[in-house]
Amino acid sequence: MDKLVITGGARLSGEVAISGAKNAALPILCASLLSTEPLTLTNVPGLNDIGTMLKLLAQMGVKIEREGNRVTLDASGLNNPLAPYELVKTMRASILVLGPLLARCSEAKVSLPGGCAIGARPVDQHIKGLLAMGAEVGVEHGYVVAKTTAGNGKLKGAHLFTDMVTVTGTENLMMAACLADGETIIENAAREPEVVDLAQCLVSMGAQISGAGTDVIRIRGVERLHGATHRIMPDRIETGTFLCAAAATGGEIRLTGTSTGYLDAVVDKLMDAGCEIVGEKTPGRESIHIIAPARLKAVSIRTAPYPAFPTDMQAQFMAINAVADGTAIIRETIFENRFMHAVELQRLGADIQIDGNTAVMKGVEKLQGATVMATDLRASASLVIAGLVAEGETHIERIYHLDRGYDHIEAKLTALGAAIRREKA
């Protein structure tokens, strides 16, 4: 297993290109299952999770052509509505094939994702919605086994309410509804920009969707969806992660191919911490310019569904608060176990008291490099940020977590002046 070795102290400077959004690309790859015509995607990020999803779709019979960041998927030969445990256990987002398979094939067998480091992450809301749309859904030997019951093999439109805001739950049900009989309304829908990007792709394929980005989404089922070409939106969490890396190191960088548009809550907090952040827009080019102070002021955060502060940026803010001036309170309200990076940051000298879903932090002058272990994707990112500012060398083990969601992160950081290298552990 690879590890990263970082020597702290460099102030980041220069320019970094932000990749396409992992959490938009994953559902949009699954949307290809809804059509017998090719779906071409551009700005697809080079991530391990993307590779896993493409493998999962290919074993279902989807023909895939990949050229750099451009992927064409042809699901006309779809012949195996099965998502096996071996693939699903490595990537929970595989559950996103459930809705499209039911809509297209009238049946699906998808391994239950199982929990992951940050929580149990059940899929009961996905199942509740599909049941309401007339599917028969059971759980057998660790698999969700579903089929439609109507004579025409279709799901039927329904008025759905999710018990809590669920991003992939909203996405699964929105995709299932595209080919259903009649209208589906999803109340308490997730408003994340990735949901909007998926809706825009589906509409370009001929779906009839309104309200994406609000908490009420209406989908009118159609007979079929046609092929399309869609550009994946920029990754707002990669954007936020590089903003935090620049902020923690007192750096000044430009992030290209992205905008502050989907990150208001994060940009707001970084400005409270003392950073200057400006969104720049010239024809065909969007970027963000950040100038950080020598030392940040501590900022408290509370995670919540979009447009509030994103849970996927909580770990990165724990890292910047570790060396900020003052006390910060971090509240995690989305996942029940998303503080595993705290004990690793404590190994680097961070002063963090955890009490349930609340962390109280006192910024220290300096962290000391040490060997730490990545536990999940965003926890890994927080350890990279901490390593960039710690004195001496920090060794981060199990960075396969990082490779799932960041596209060549050490190359991008090296180009910004960081002393970081990958080693075979």
Tokens of 82: 């099965």
Angle between helices 22-31 and 193-204 (to 10 degrees): 30
- Least distance in Å: CB of 335 to ligand EPZ? 5
122 sits near ligand EPZ (criterion: CB under 6 A): yes
- Least distance in Å: CB of 73 to ligand EPZ? 18
Choice between 10 and 165, CB closer to ligand EPZ? 165
Residue 405, classified by CB atoms within 10 Å of its CB into exposed (0-12), middle (13-18) or buried (19+), is buried
- Residue 198 backbone phi and psi in degrees, to 5: -60, -45
In the region spanning residues 168 to 187, those forming contacts with ligand EPZ, defined by CB under 6 A, are 168-169
Tokens of 97: 């094939």
Q: Torsion-angle region of residue 369: left (phi > 0), alpha (psi -120 to 50) or beta?
A: beta
* Binding residue (CB under 6 A) for ligand EPZ from 377, 385, 413, 416: 377
Concatenate the DSSP letters of all residues of 52-75 into one string.
Answer: HHHHHHHTTT-EEEEETTEEEEEG
Choice between 303 and 349, CB closer to ligand EPZ? 303
In the region spanning residues 211 to 240, those forming contacts with ligand EPZ, defined by CB under 6 A, are none
* Binding residue (CB under 6 A) for ligand EPZ from 88, 130, 167, 313: 167
Laid out side by side, the sheet with 351-355 consists of 301-302, 327-331, 358-362, 351-355
* Binding residue (CB under 6 A) for ligand EPZ from 405, 406, 407, 413: 405
HSE of 120 in the Cβ direction (CA atoms, 13 Å)?
Answer: 4
In the shown chain, the binding pattern of residues 44 to 83 toward ligand EPZ, with x for contact by CB under 6 A and - for none, equals ----------------------------------------
Choice between 70 and 121, CB closer to ligand EPZ? 121
123 sits near ligand EPZ (criterion: CB under 6 A): yes
- Catalytic residue list contains 116: yes
Pairing of the two strands 82-83 and 419-424: unpaired
Choice between 123 and 137, CB closer to ligand EPZ? 123
Direct distance between the N- and C-terminal alpha carbons of the chain, in angstroms, rounded to an integer: 5
Concatenate the DSSP letters of all residues of 337-353 into one string.
Answer: T--HHHHHHHHTT-EEE
Integer angstrom CA distances of residue 325 from 26, 269, 319: 38, 14, 13
142 contacts: CB under 8 Å, gap ≥ 6: 85, 111, 112, 114
Number of residues that bind ligand EPZ (CB under 6 A): 23
In the region spanning residues 308 to 327, those forming contacts with ligand EPZ, defined by CB under 6 A, are 311-312
- Least distance in Å: CB of 58 to ligand EPZ? 19
23 sits near ligand EPZ (criterion: CB under 6 A): yes
Q: Which stretch binds ligand EPZ (CB under 6 A): 75-83, 120-128, 241-249, 393-401?
A: 120-128
Choice between 44 and 296, CB closer to ligand EPZ? 44
Choice between 15 and 124, CB closer to ligand EPZ? 124
30, 116, 178, 275: which is the annotated catalytic residue? 116
119 sits near ligand EPZ (criterion: CB under 6 A): yes
Q: Which stretch binds ligand EPZ (CB under 6 A): 12-20, 161-169, 248-256, 406-414?
A: 161-169
19 sits near ligand EPZ (criterion: CB under 6 A): no
Task: Give Cα 237 distance to the centre of its chain.
Answer: 7
* Binding residue (CB under 6 A) for ligand EPZ from 69, 106, 111, 125: 125
- Least distance in Å: CB of 286 to ligand EPZ? 22
**How far apart are alpha carbons 255 and 261 in whole angstroms?**
13
Determine the residue type at 265: A
> Is residue 253 a contact partner of residue 246, using CB atoms and an 8 Å limit?
yes
334 sits near ligand EPZ (criterion: CB under 6 A): yes
- Least distance in Å: CB of 297 to ligand EPZ? 26
Q: Cα Rg for the chain, rounded, in angstroms?
A: 22
Q: Which stretch binds ligand EPZ (CB under 6 A): 163-171, 174-182, 254-262, 349-357?
A: 163-171
In the region spanning residues 86 to 105, those forming contacts with ligand EPZ, defined by CB under 6 A, are 93
Choice between 259 and 314, CB closer to ligand EPZ? 314
> Is residue 160 a contact partner of residue 218, using CB atoms and an 8 Å limit?
no
Concatenate the DSSP letters of all residues of 189-207 into one string.
Answer: ----HHHHHHHHHHHHTT-
**How far apart are alpha carbons 2 and 425 in whole angstroms?**
5
Is there a cis peptide before residue 307, judged by omega within 30 degrees of 0? yes
Would you tell me which residues interact with ligand EPZ (CB under 6 A)?
Answer: 22-23, 26, 93, 119, 121-126, 164, 166-169, 311-312, 334-335, 377-378, 405
Residues assigned a catalytic role: 116
